[in-house]
Structure 1
Amino acid sequence: MKSEKMHNWLIIILGVVASLTWIYPFVLIFINSFKTRREIFTNTLFWPNETTTENYPRAYEDLNYTESFMNSLMITVASIIVIVLFSSMSAYALSRYPGKMSSVIYFICAITMLIPFQSLMIPLVSLFGRFDMLNRVGLTFMNLGFGSSMSIFLYFGALRSVPKSLDEAAILDGANPFQIFWRVVFPLLKPTTVTVIILNSIRIWNDYLLPSLVINKDGMYTIPLQMYYFFGQYTIQWELALAGLVLAIIPIILLYMFLQKHIIQGITEGATK
């Protein structure tokens, strides 16, 4: 009993230490966003001696926050919709119609998760540029390509826990394959869908490299692209950059807090079953 209690306490302590280690950078960002530039360098780790809220309205204005927020929101929402639609239907077809071709396609999807974006970015951007598919449309399709492999992997694993007898019962009731999937199967994949939404939203919302290569029109810049405004060639406006980071991460944190209760269940279903 004593060894079991010691083991439980050790796990709790390690969990607390890991949580504090993870959250500490975010606390520093928040604290330093209320400091002047001089105090950021002289008093980085502690609460400011004199707090200032001027950084936030200045960062909001310099970021053109309303416009850049809407651009990030439209790109993220559009990308998530196509990823969920394409990945869920693809995984359903692969799981319900097994065969050599299905196995090959699933294996390719799993392998492509290991391919880094940096090895594809130049030919990919060049190809989309030839077809005049840059900016929002091109970025949405690229996000679909980079997000579908992991999403199909998660959906495929989750679908193994959905019995085929439900499909057969729906067929007896006169439902076609499209109705079977959307009315019977897809509602049962809610935890996995939430997981796919969260994981891809974080990646797409925070992405800087891909939008910097694809977006080339004024008025379409996302928040990460606008953040580059604070990092000049000779000076860095740290006080505004930190305030801008807080404004940038608040929406995705709220989304995570709203959906987080489904994440562990979704990852477990998609990866183990």
Structure 2
Amino acid sequence: MTALTGPAAVKAPRPRSGGTRSLRGATAVFLKYLSLVLASAVVLIPLLAILLTSLRTAKEMGSANPLSAPHHWLNFHNYVTAFNDGHMMRALWNTSFILFFSVLGTVLIGSMTAYAIDRFHFPFKRLILGLFLIASLVPSVTTQVATYQIVNNLGAMDTRWAPIMLYMGTDIVSIYIFLQFIRSIPVSLDEAARLDGANSFTIYWRIIVPLLKPAIATVVIIKGVAIYNDFYIPFLYMPDDNLGTISTSLFRFKGPYGAHWEVISAGAALVIIPSLVVFLALQRFIYNGFASGATK
């Protein structure tokens, strides 16, 4: 057989560079997992160092590496010292009291505000939404002088109600979370309820609130973790030692144990463990809540 020449000749297709593409894909996967491992190490290594340090004795601290294993894994003496001398039970009660009323108020105020903005038509509605957005962008530190004077004039200074009022009145993010969910609820449900004689509050309480469970779970978790970890507001507005929260009690506890890092690490672990356990147990509600709010 003779090869065709001229116009009838057909050029054989060139082989695709499959090796180059596979190499690029493998490199991209490697870099992705490498970044995940590095990000996880940044978060987990300090927590591991705190945990290992809290299980050591004072003699081990002089020669031990921060990531070396303690001689006795069941050495909980530092935890007992931190719990008793740091008044962690009292701090946990104060934090729980503030957390409960702050989160409850945030859910009620945020959902009611979002319901009014989405379902009712009133003058300057767009302006109010813009003011909410501006308020979320203003650093809270810049308004603390005026806020401190208002709280002091109300007589709430050095009481648990001072941080509760501030937490309830400064959370703009929860309003937007509830607003995204309420916009996904059909208005026809409101109209059907009004035909049955329901007023606005009945519609909100009987129809809107039950459908806001994913948003409520998201706001409760995010707001709860933020309040639990907050240091600035309790330290500024509740200087009394008997009103110390988890964060401020840990800060004051450092004083007599400034050189005993094993005891300080035990106190830090006592503060970290409750929020970590709650977050790991309820993290699916956070992801589902954000995903639902973003897609609906």
CA distance in 1, matches of 2:43, 2:257: 31
Q: Are the counterparts in 1 of residues 48 and 67 from structure 2 also a CA contact under 8 Å?
A: no
Q: 2:225 aligns with which of 188, 202, 211?
A: 202
Cα distance change on mapping 1:255 and 1:50 into 2, 3 Å: closer
Q: Distance in 2 between matches of 1:242 and 1:117?
A: 30
Task: Determine which of 17, 25, 32 is the counterpart of 2:38.
Answer: 17
Letter of the 2:155 counterpart: D
Structure 2 gaps, min length 5? 1-20
Partners of 2:257 and 2:263 within 8 A in 1: no
State which structure, 1 or 2, has the greater radius of gyration over its C-alpha atoms.
Answer: 2
> Residues 271 and 132 from structure 1, CA distance in 2 versus in 1: closer, same or farther, beyond 3 angstroms?
farther
Unaligned runs of 5+ in 1: none
Identity of aligned residues (%): 32
1:122 paired with 2:145, answer yes
Match of residue 155, structure 1, among 170, 178, 181? 178
Distance in structure 2 (CA, Å) of the matches to 1:272 and 1:170: 26
Are positions 1:68 and 2:91 aligned together? yes
Kept after mapping to 1: 8 A contact 2:110/2:178? yes
Distance (whole Å) between structure 2 residues aligned to residue 219 and residue 234 of structure 1: 19
- Residue range with higher mean Cα deviation, 226-235 or 4-13: 4-13
Aligned-CA RMSD value? 2.4
**Distance change >3 Å, CA 241–CA 96, structure 1 → 2:** same
Letter of the 1:30 partner, please give it. Answer: L
Shift of 1:264: 1.5
Question: In structure 2, how many angstroms separate the alpha carbons of the residues matched to 1:182 and 1:146?
Answer: 23
Matched, 1:144 2:144: no
Contact 1:212–1:225 (CA under 8 A) maintained in structure 2: yes
* Cα separation, 2, equivalents of 1:244 and 1:86: 35
| More divergent stretch after superposition (16-25 vs 111-120) | 16-25
Q: Name the SS of the counterpart of 1:162 in structure 2.
A: coil
Matches of 1:195 and 1:228 in 2, distance apart? 29
Distance in 2, matches of 1:261 and 1:83, equals 21
Q: 2:187 aligns with which of 133, 147, 164?
A: 164
Corresponding residue for residue 94 of structure 1 = 117
Paired residue for 2:268? 245
- TM-aligned CA distance change 1:41 to 1:181, over 3 Å: farther
Q: Residues 221, 103 of structure 1: CA spacing in aligned structure 2 closer, same or farther, 3 A cutoff?
A: same
TM-score (norm 1): 0.89
Q: Which runs of 4+ in 1 moved over 4 A?
A: 1-10
